[in-house]
């Protein structure tokens, strides 16, 4: 419980009406979660406007309301506070209500189009191996030491974030590694948080269904760095042309990593094979279990962040060399089978290109590459033909299938993908809407030493169709098919 005036500290208030000393027992921005004694924060969301539910919140016992405008009918039993931006107010209020837990833990944010999950996961594993108690907020799972909590969003809402940070502190966590999505920045979900460091991986074509323009998408990513304090660090991929853009106007200590340009944390690929990577880092040659150029960047980001967090470089490299990556990220399924099978979360043009270029690097020349690819429904439609074109360019055969169609017709999604396929590539493509049948067909088509890539869903264990999540796991299906066709 806290007094209203205290939890509104640092909020940009434009007007007040009522008792500012009222006790607040909880906070909610979803009117369905309001209980007696709660503060209701009316936020304009992407689906609905919380201002429409102010009267309901008061009827359910809200003692105070924060919003951008006052309701037409006001209750003399509640306090009303108007603010310039409700979403920003929510973040600050949530942090204040829960005692600003982010200032009591070393919170590191990771943003970028690709690599966020791998970098956050590697940092969590690394610092756990180094003897720290850690938390992680990621696309795959939220973790508090060894306790796993289902992740519903890449970045949770401000109330969930602060609740999770409080739980981490109760478990004596010293570090939290957090994926920060562009949606989270644009929707002010990270407002009120105290990051001691931020990492930028890369930025490519994605989420234009939400951000509308690439420039808006870049600004959203940059927002994480703009909010850093002078005591924090900002670590960016200097080989990405937007890397230095992230550092503009940031007060943080500016640091870079890369493979091509001069950088504070420079790496060089010595060996790149299906077994792993050998990198030269800090004048040492180190072997890593992760695969591909993109993982060389991920490893450098993790190494640089650990050094900036004042860990011993030698110990960091030793621990990193023994680690595996995140679930569903260039994950080999049943190594040693008659053909190579890979599951990857690649759901953007650049991510798919990176994975297929990595596979191309490993080919001796005779193996077929069979790609099973789909695109998600209710998401950026402009990337569909691009992903189809990339799949065709780098694969011997391509099977277009359903991903998470959500509310869309999966066949219509595939038709939009096919607009990116030229006449010469059309003959190498198949259409199989049923994802399990597509994976089975790829395995039936594969000969010894061929390579199958199942892309798009990675770690996900469901397929979302018409608002319902049906159990479906690419890794489980592919494993079952490999066993069937390996006999």
The CATH number of whichever domain residue 31 belongs to comes to 3.40.1390.10
The whole-angstrom separation of Cα 159 and Cα 175 is: 19
% of the chain surpassing 90 pLDDT: 82
One domain for residues 240 and 166: yes
In this predicted model, what pLDDT tens digit does every residue of 311-358 receive, in sequence order? 999 999 999 999 988 889 899 998 888 889 999 999 999 889 999 999
% of the chain surpassing 70 pLDDT: 98
Name the pLDDT band for 76 (thresholds 50, 70, 90). Answer: confident
One domain for residues 311 and 343: no
Residue 207 has pLDDT above 50, yes or no: no
One domain for residues 89 and 105: no
In this predicted model, what pLDDT tens digit does every residue of 443-467 receive, in sequence order? 999 999 999 999 999 999 999 999 8
One domain for residues 113 and 92: no
One domain for residues 113 and 262: yes
For 476, half-sphere exposure in the C-beta direction (CA atoms, 13 angstrom radius) is 7
Residue 143 belongs to a domain = yes
One domain for residues 109 and 43: no
Residue 486 has pLDDT above 80, yes or no: no
Name the pLDDT band for 137 (thresholds 50, 70, 90). Answer: very high
Residue 224 belongs to a domain = yes
Residue 305 belongs to a domain = yes
Distances (CA, A) of 404 to 293, 410, 433, 456, 466: 28, 8, 11, 9, 9
One domain for residues 85 and 156: no
Name the pLDDT band for 156 (thresholds 50, 70, 90). Answer: confident
Domain count, the chain: 3
One domain for residues 229 and 273: yes
Residue 325 belongs to a domain = no
In this predicted model, what pLDDT tens digit does every residue of 177-200 receive, in sequence order? 999 988 888 889 999 999 999 999
Determine the structural domain holding residue 6 and report its residue range. Answer: 2-97
**Per-residue model confidence (pLDDT) at position 480:** 95
One domain for residues 268 and 284: yes
Residue 434 has pLDDT above 60, yes or no: yes
In this predicted model, what pLDDT tens digit does every residue of 90-101 receive, in sequence order? 999 999 999 999
Residue 148 has pLDDT above 70, yes or no: yes
- Choice between 212 and 106, residue whose per-residue pLDDT is larger: 106
**Per-residue model confidence (pLDDT) at position 487:** 62
The residue from 56, 74, 97 where one domain ends is 97
One domain for residues 190 and 288: yes
One domain for residues 310 and 377: no
Residue 326 belongs to a domain = no
Residue 414 has pLDDT above 80, yes or no: yes
In this predicted model, what pLDDT tens digit does every residue of 385-410 receive, in sequence order? 999 999 999 999 999 999 999 999 99
Residue 89 belongs to a domain = yes
User: What average pLDDT is seen over the chain?
Assistant: 93
Residue 211 has pLDDT above 70, yes or no: no
**Per-residue model confidence (pLDDT) at position 45:** 79
Residue 381 belongs to a domain = yes
The residue from 71, 97, 123 where one domain ends is 97
CATH code at position 290: 3.40.1190.10
Residue 123 has pLDDT above 80, yes or no: yes
C-beta neighbour count of 167 within 10 angstroms: 17
The residue from 320, 344, 363 where one domain ends is 320
Residue 399 belongs to a domain = yes
pTM for the whole structure = 0.87
One domain for residues 313 and 200: yes
Name the pLDDT band for 151 (thresholds 50, 70, 90). Answer: confident
Name the pLDDT band for 265 (thresholds 50, 70, 90). Answer: very high
Name the pLDDT band for 214 (thresholds 50, 70, 90). Answer: low
In this predicted model, what pLDDT tens digit does every residue of 223-247 receive, in sequence order? 999 999 999 999 999 999 899 999 9
């Amino acid at each position: 419980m806290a007094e209203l005036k205290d939890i509104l500290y640092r909020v940009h208030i434009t007007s007040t009406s009522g008792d500012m000393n009222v006790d607040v027992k909880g906070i909610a921005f979803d009117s369905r979660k309001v209980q007696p004694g709660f503060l209701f924060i009316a936020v304009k969301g992407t689906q609905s406007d919380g201002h429409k539910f102010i009267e309901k919140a008061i009827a359910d016992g809200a003692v105070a309301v924060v919003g951008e405008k006052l309701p037409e009918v006001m209750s003399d039993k509640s306090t009303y506070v108007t603010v310039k931006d409700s979403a920003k107010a929510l973040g600050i209020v949530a942090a204040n209500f829960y005692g600003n837990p982010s200032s009591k833990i070393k919170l590191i944010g990771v943003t970028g189009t690709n690599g966020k999950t791998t970098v956050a996961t590697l940092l969590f594993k690394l610092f756990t191996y180094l003897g720290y108690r850690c938390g992680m907020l990621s696309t795959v799972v939220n973790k508090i030491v060894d306790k796993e909590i289902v992740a519903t969003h890449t970045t949770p809402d401000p109330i969930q974030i602060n609740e999770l940070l409080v739980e981490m502190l109760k478990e004596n966590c010293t570090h939290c590694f957090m994926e920060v999505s562009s949606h989270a920045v644009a929707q002010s979900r990270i407002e009120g948080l105290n990051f001691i460091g931020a990492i930028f991986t890369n930025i490519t074509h994605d989420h234009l269904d939400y951000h509308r323009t690439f420039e808006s998408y870049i600004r959203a990513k940059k927002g994480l760095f703009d909010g850093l304090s002078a005591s924090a660090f900002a670590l960016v991929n200097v080989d990405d042309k937007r890397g230095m853009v992230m550092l503009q106007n940031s007060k943080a200590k500016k640091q870079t990593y890369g493979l091509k340009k001069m950088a504070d944390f420079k790496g060089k690929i010595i060996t790149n094979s299906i077994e792993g990577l050998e990198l030269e880092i800090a004048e040492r040659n180190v072997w890593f279990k992760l695969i591909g150029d993109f993982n060389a960047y991920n490893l450098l980001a993790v190494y640089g962040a650990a050094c900036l967090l004042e860990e011993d470089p030698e110990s960091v490299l030793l621990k990193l060399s023994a680690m595996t990556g995140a679930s569903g990220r260039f994950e080999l399924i049943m190594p040693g089978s008659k053909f190579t099978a890979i599951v990857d979360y690649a759901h953007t043009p650049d991510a798919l290109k990176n994975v297929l270029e990595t596979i191309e690097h490993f080919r001796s020349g005779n193996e077929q590459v069979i790609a099973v690819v789909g695109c998600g429904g209710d998401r950026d439609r402009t990337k569909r033909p691009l992903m189809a074109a990339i799949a065709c360019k780098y694969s011997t055969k391509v099977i277009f299938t359903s991903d998470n169609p959500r509310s869309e017709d999966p066949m219509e999604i595939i038709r939009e993908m096919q607009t990116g396929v030229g006449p010469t590539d059309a003959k190498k493509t198949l259409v199989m809407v049923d994802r399990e049948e597509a994976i089975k067909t790829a395995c039936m088509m594969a000969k010894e030493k061929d390579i199958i890539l199942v892309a798009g869903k990675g770690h996900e264990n469901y397929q979302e169709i018409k608002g319902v999540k049906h159990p479906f796991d690419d890794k489980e299906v592919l494993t079952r098919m490999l066993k069937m066709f390996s006999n």
